Amino acid sequence: MDTFLALLLEQARKNSDLPALRTKRMGIWDTLTWAQTRDKVSVLAQLLSQQGVGVGTSFGVFGPNHTDMYLAYLAVHSLGGVVIPIDSNTFGEELRRQVQSTDVEHILAFEQQHVDALLECEQTCVKRIFYINRRGMENYAQPELMSLPENLEGIEASTAFLEQMDGQRDSGEIATILLTSGTGRSERPVELSHGALIATARSIAQRETITKKDGLLAYLPLSASSDFLFSYSLTMVTGCAMNCPESDDTVLENMQEIGPTILFGPPYVYKYIYTHASNRIESARTLDTKIYKAALRAVMTVASHRAEGRRGSFVDWLLFMFARITTFSPFCNIYGLSRLRLALTGGDAIAPDVFNFFRAIGIDLRETYGQVEGCACVTMQSSEDWNSDSVGVPLDGTEVRIENGEIWFRGPGQMKGIHKNLEATAESTKDGWVRTHDAGHLDDQGRLHVHGQISRMGKLNGGGAFAPDMLETHLRSSEYIKQAIVIGAGREYPVAIVTVDGTITRTWADRRSLRYTGYADLSAHASVQEMVREYLQKINEFLAENPETASMQLRRFAILNREFMASAGEVTPTRKLRCHEVAEKHRGLIDALYSDALEYTYTDPVDEESYTLPLGNV
């Protein structure tokens, strides 16, 4: 059973009445059992077959996390087609580039805004645009448009049709083409097979005993490789229930209602919960704030001991357990984490303080490491590993090696290749191994430690090492700093551009009766500048303790007048910073930081307004 169609038929036979897919619509959870899922897929697959979808057809799926989108995955896979997931918030040139680079022939758009985006981006390869939500589509007469609900009427469910298709499927068929994030180099369309995705999901499920009794939340952008693995593939392999939120704005609320047992989230998800909690405490009464901070100190003390391989005193453990029961058990209930038995993160380095916080309050948070080329997961931490520097050991059947400081891997989950680019495929592989373009090392326990993107690492002019990823990870440990980029390779010293988290920084400012008119005014306020400066000084003190990092102490910084934005091409859909684009876009600001200037005035291309940014010394 190494194709998604085979898994669907098997789950429908074994678990026909168990929930498979849930989506919240108009405040009500709509549930499909495995048998109902099979029947809906058979109807959709018959229609798509009539419209010319078959073996090798590139089929785009453009919209939010929704049951209908994952049904389309299964229908396309049943016919031997290739799924091209497209993030719901992709528009304009980026949408056109993604559609054309993956040769999309047919595409499923969720609603009017997605249809409009496709019609406006001047894509030329798409023959047919299906759409689900008919609201607002009454006056559209383009010949390539087709209403899915209207055309599904009258088609009978047929398990026999799917079984016939099952006999024609092969695990080596390409299941999806996913674009790399483009954070370290240009985006590349990566081909992943059914067998690779299923083997990776199966390895995770077996290692962590994930079963049909579990439930997960599918909320990441469809274009993210982590959604394809940890939502779609893991559901198909284990038979667990996939839950789709009502909208991006209701994820936290829906998580409270669902109470998932398995959760994968990029670091920003856990940072959001961590910051949201800190903001609530910042807004609370003084006594409540003191109680929370005392409880936090108690659990974090034990967490730091565990990370260092020490157990701590009896009193420490007594306070630790008391704080968990009285403070953080209710905390987990509030955020929908009380049933969570496995929390995973990956795609970027998580801030140590955030990692330690969740481990300390009783959430079994594990770091993973992977890339699109490895189906999003190559290594995973164990429950006993409290070291946030480690990303764990390779999955079963996967090997990792270090060659000239670079991480290479091979295993059942590796890519088939770069779509229509033999040269790029050859450059990324050697003797069956896949290169990652990341630096790292393996410790004596076989655990992988990732140092960052090789393309960003280098030397300072004085000869000292420069590792910006490590510095940025420490900067993001502050609940007040949302994003950061550090520049320094080939320079005399490192400088940082940071953005503050607007919500908690406003609360912090209001409690101190600071006067400001908006985000830009707040970020430029002298008190906020001083708060960030003090945090950077603490990081410098930490760096100074180690001769290998002492030369990387930050000298200057600037707080941007806004957060880094996906619409400006500065962050990916999973909110990883596109460092090269950010550095290029803010070249003038970087040059100013390496001068004696005390401020920098520029016109922001996002709103075309002029801003003056204070430039601070650390």
Same domain, 483 and 435: no
Task: Give me the amino acid identity at 4.
Answer: F
pLDDT at 288: 79
Nearest-CA neighbor of 148 among 169, 128, 173? 128
Same domain, 424 and 557: no
Q: Which run of H or of E encompasses 614?
A: strand 610-617
Question: 200 and 209 in contact (C-beta within 8 Å)?
Answer: no
In a domain, 259, yes or no: no
Total number of domains in the chain = 4
User: Is residue 35 over pLDDT 80?
Assistant: yes
Structural domain ending residue among the three candidates 454, 481, 498: 454
Angstrom distances, CA of residue 216 to CA of 35, 113, 167, 211, 258: 19, 28, 30, 11, 9
Same domain, 148 and 274: no
Residue 482 φ then ψ, to 5°: -90, -45
Same domain, 536 and 444: no
CATH of residue 410's domain is 2.30.38.10
Same domain, 476 and 561: yes
Same domain, 133 and 232: yes
Rounded CA-CA distance 139/137 in Å is 6
Tokens of 75: 């229908």
More confident: 71 or 605: 71
pTM: predicted TM-score of the whole model, two decimal places: 0.92
Sheet containing 145-147: order of strands: 145-147, 128-131, 106-109, 58-63, 82-87, 174-179, 189-193, 417-418
In a domain, 270, yes or no: yes
Task: Classify residue 422 by burial, with Cβ atoms within 10 Å: 0-12, 13-18, 19+.
Answer: exposed
pLDDT at 287: 82
Q: Name the band, by pLDDT with cuts 50, 70 and 90, for residue 124.
A: confident
Candidate from 30-39, 147-156, 317-326 with smallest mean pLDDT: 317-326
Q: DSSP 3-state assignment of 515?
A: coil
Rounded CA-CA distance 448/374 in Å is 15
Give the pLDDT confidence of 457-470 residue by residue, as tens digits. Answer: 989 998 888 999 99
pLDDT at 551: 93
Rounded CA-CA distance 186/25 in Å is 37
Rounded CA-CA distance 532/528 in Å is 6
Task: Classify residue 321 by burial, with Cβ atoms within 10 Å: 0-12, 13-18, 19+.
Answer: middle
Q: Name the band, by pLDDT with cuts 50, 70 and 90, for residue 386.
A: confident
Task: Report the Cα–Cα distance between both ends of the chain, in Å, rounded.
Answer: 58
Give the pLDDT confidence of 546-599 residue by residue, as tens digits. Answer: 998 999 999 999 999 999 988 788 888 778 888 888 999 999 999 999 999 999
User: Is residue 185 over pLDDT 90?
Assistant: no
pLDDT at 342: 95
Task: Give me the amino acid identity at 349.
Answer: A
User: Is residue 308 over pLDDT 90?
Assistant: no
Domain that holds residue 385: 373-454
pLDDT at 307: 75
CATH of residue 564's domain is 3.30.300.30
Task: Summarize the confidence of residues 267-274 as an average pLDDT.
Answer: 92
